[in-house]
Amino acid sequence: MSTVPSINLNDGASIPQLGLGVYQIDPDETAGAVKAALDIGYRHIDTAQMYGNEAGVGQGIRDAGVDRADVFITSKLNNGFHEPDKARAAFDETLSKLGYDYVDLFLIHWPLPTKYDGDFVSTWKALEGFKADGRARSIGVSNFQVPHLERLAAETDTVPAVNQIEVHPYFVNADVRAYGASHDIVTEAWSPIAQGKVLDDQVVEGIAKATGKSPAQVVLRWHIQRGDVIFPKSVTPKRIQENFDIFDFELSPDDVDALTELDKGEDGRTGPNPDTFDMIPD
């Protein structure tokens, strides 16, 4: 039995609040990491076309002997495929690489407002098609800023189920999170431990000492209590287990506030600003 809570999405589906992220996991190591996570009890994997390891995700699930229906799989459209025809072909490829006939959640990875004449709306309509034909149970976006979300609301019929954005104590991304909270869009917090950069912060270390938990567990617990969905990345079974063991303690409201106050604004980002990010891989 899983100890991981589920969060309801605006389309009636639900998502486990904790999963495994596989960004920067070597394709050859992915099946092993996914199997290790599933053996521990994880039931949610976050991948992307850009990560080049969707095949390993499917393989890891089959190696673990877990039913497909019991695992929540997310993938994301790569930046070169925003035109609807290309999006449709790329989505077919995602399913074929995973070896399954549906994903639980499919996202536009980046809005790319300076590319494609700023048109992410026709891309979103292509994703609406994947939802309509049942091959994506839910659809959402990633790295969308408030104006991008407002534009989808004005020009399309489907509210994204999630917005996957950078959030951690050094970059709390309050405005985008608040828009999600008020429009029934679940926030998924990427780089939840800022790729390790927050773990030696004195405030984090102090709370870790006081609670008897590790710095990573304290920061992951902060996200859980704020209601965001997270999927820390690791290939090390010991860390994958450590990141799962966050449901047996509680941070006080003061601890939650102290971690939120570590925000450095724009300087705290570990990744690019979505307003200007325009990388299209070869």
Binding-site annotation: residue ranges:
109
206 CB-near residues (< 8 Å, 6+ apart) = none
Q: Applying CB under 6 A, does 232 fall inside the site for ligand NAD?
A: yes
Measured from the CB of residue 272, what is the shortest distance to ligand NAD in angstroms? 9
- Asked whether the beta carbons of 267 and 56 are under 8 A apart, the reply is no
- Contact pick of 15, 127, 139, 216 for ligand NAD (by CB under 6 A): 216
Q: Which of residues 109-168 bind ligand NAD (CB under 6 A)?
A: 109, 142-143, 164
Q: Applying CB under 6 A, does 193 fall inside the site for ligand NAD?
A: yes
Tokens of 149: 């979300």
User: At what angle are helices 27-40 and 54-64 packed, to 10 degrees?
Assistant: 40
Measured from the CB of residue 20, what is the shortest distance to ligand NAD in angstroms? 8
Q: Which of residues 81-110 bind ligand NAD (CB under 6 A)?
A: 109
Backbone torsions φ then ψ of 107, nearest 5 degrees: -120, 150
Q: Applying CB under 6 A, does 191 fall inside the site for ligand NAD?
A: yes
Catalytic residue among 23, 42, 51, 100: 51
Of the candidates 60, 51, 168, the one whose C-alpha atom is nearest the C-alpha of residue 107 is: 51
Measured from the CB of residue 93, what is the shortest distance to ligand NAD in angstroms? 19
Size of the site for ligand NAD (CB under 6 A): 25
User: At what angle are helices 84-98 and 121-132 packed, to 10 degrees?
Assistant: 40
Active site residue 102: no
* 12, 35, 36, 63, 280 from 165: Cα distances, Å: 22, 26, 26, 30, 19
Judged by beta carbon, residue 128 or residue 242, the one nearer ligand NAD is 242
- The neighbour count for residue 224, using CB atoms within 10 Å, is 20
Q: Which of residues 262-281 bind ligand NAD (CB under 6 A)?
A: 271
Which residues form the interface with ligand NAD (CB under 6 A)? 21-23, 46, 109, 142-143, 164, 190-196, 199, 216, 231-234, 239, 242-243, 271
Annotated catalytic residues are: 51
